[in-house]
């Protein structure tokens, strides 16, 4: 089956620093999604990418759909304490279905020290 | 995000109990999903429903039985679970079609004694 390698697994940074995480795969995806999960809550969609090479921002967050369609990265600029959480990438593909299937990365645990 | 609501939020049950998890979405979506989230593992897709029809069963043991009476409601009936079934169970919904992002509920934290 399809697999995503998300790195790093965890990050410990100081408030104000920039953050970068990425996902890679041996498979091609049609969509890349980035989610954040806070403790005790479900994943919340941050950014959705639909075209190879697409670069999209959402406030301090910027994500890119890799040109090969096999990777994506997420950058967070000027981190703040509320950025703490687990960040997941997800690759979407048709997979022979009409609804699309998401394959999730293992997650990046972000800790921000004030 | 309150578009997808899951109840209960926490559930403790014995291995011989029968219980059900409920999911309701208010987003006008027509596809609904059950995922299992265990520590240090990627989200595992369990079931997919499109317009109330089950379109995916990802080799889930029969002790998990899904039900989708309409496009807004999804249930997961639990029976004779094992300790390794303890996990966070997440419901998601989306519009039908490839490339539609999924929106998640806050999950039910299930503990099997």
* Interface membership of A55 toward B (CB under 8 Å): no
Angle at A113 between CA B107 and CA A16, to 5 degrees: 105
* Interface membership of A60 toward B (CB under 8 Å): no
> Residue A15, Cβ neighbours under 10 Å: how many?
12
* C-alpha span between B110 and B88 (Å, rounded): 6
Among B96, B101, B106, beta carbon nearest to A42: B106
Mean pLDDT of B42-61: 89
* C-alpha span between B54 and B20 (Å, rounded): 18
Contact A52, A68 (CB under 8 A): yes
Residue A95 has pLDDT above 80, yes or no: no
Give me the pLDDT at residue A94, please: 65
B105, A42: Cβ pair inside 8 Å?
Answer: yes
* Interface membership of A97 toward B (CB under 8 Å): yes
B98, A30: Cβ pair inside 8 Å?
Answer: yes
For B36-62, letters b (16+ CB in 10 Å) and e give bbeeeebbebbbbbbeeeeebeeebee
Cβ burial, residue A78 (10 Å; 0-12/13-18/19+): exposed
* C-alpha span between A73 and A18 (Å, rounded): 13
Give me the pLDDT at residue A71, please: 96
Give me the pLDDT at residue B107, please: 97
Give me the pLDDT at residue A40, please: 87
For B94-109, letters b (16+ CB in 10 Å) and e give bbeeebbbbbbbbbbb
Give me the pLDDT at residue B97, please: 77
- Higher confidence at residue B96 or residue A108? A108
Query: Residues of B numbered 12-71 whose beta carbons fall under 8 angstroms of chain A's beta carbons: which are they?
Result: 31, 40-43, 45, 48, 50, 55-56
Mean pLDDT of B79-90: 95
* C-alpha span between B7 and A107 (Å, rounded): 25
Among B31, B97, B101, beta carbon nearest to A45: B101
Mean pLDDT of B68-76: 96
pLDDT above 90: percentage of residues in chain B? 75
Confidence of residue A100 (pLDDT cuts 50, 70, 90): low
Give me the pLDDT at residue A99, please: 60
Query: Which residues of B fall within a CB distance of 8 Å from A102?
Result: 45, 102
What's chain B's average pLDDT? 92
Residues in chain B: 113
Please tell me the distance in Å from A59's CA to the nearest CA on chain B. 18
Please tell me the distance in Å from A61's CA to the nearest CA on chain B. 18
* C-alpha span between A60 and B57 (Å, rounded): 38
Confidence of residue A97 (pLDDT cuts 50, 70, 90): low
CB half-sphere exposure, B35, CA atoms < 13 A: 24
Give me the pLDDT at residue B58, please: 83
Give me the pLDDT at residue A5, please: 94
Give me the pLDDT at residue B99, please: 76
Q: Is the dihedral of CA B49, B54, B55, B56 positive or negative?
A: positive
pLDDT tens column, A36-94:
999 889 999 999 999 999 999 999 999 999 999 999 999 999 999 999 999 999 998 86
pLDDT tens column, B15-27:
888 999 999 999 9
């Amino acid at each position: 089956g399809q697999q995503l390698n998300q790195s790093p697994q965890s990050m410990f940074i100081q408030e104000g620093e920039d953050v970068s995480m990425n996902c890679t795969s041996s498979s091609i995806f049609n969509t890349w999604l980035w989610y954040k999960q806070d403790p005790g809550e479900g994943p919340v969609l941050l950014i959705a990418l639909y075209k190879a090479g697409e670069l999209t921002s959402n406030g301090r967050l910027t994500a890119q759909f890799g040109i090969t369609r096999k990777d994506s990265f997420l950058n967070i600029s000027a981190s703040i304490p509320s950025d703490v959480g687990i960040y997941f990438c997800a690759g979407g593909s048709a997979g022979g279905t009409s609804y699309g299937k998401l394959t999730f990365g293992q997650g990046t645990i972000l800790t921000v020290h004030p | 995000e309150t578009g997808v609501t899951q109840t209960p939020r926490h559930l403790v049950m014995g291995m011989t109990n029968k219980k059900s998890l409920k999911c309701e979405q208010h987003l006008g979506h027509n596809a609904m999903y059950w995922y299992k989230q265990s520590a240090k593992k990627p989200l595992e897709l369990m079931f997919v429903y499109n317009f109330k029809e089950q379109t995916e069963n990802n080799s889930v043991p029969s002790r998990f039985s899904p039900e989708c009476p309409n496009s807004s409601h999804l249930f997961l009936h639990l029976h004779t679970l094992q300790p390794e079934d303890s996990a966070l169970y997440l419901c998601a919904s989306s519009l039908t079609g490839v490339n539609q992002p999924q929106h998640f509920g806050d999950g039910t934290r299930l503990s099997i004694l």
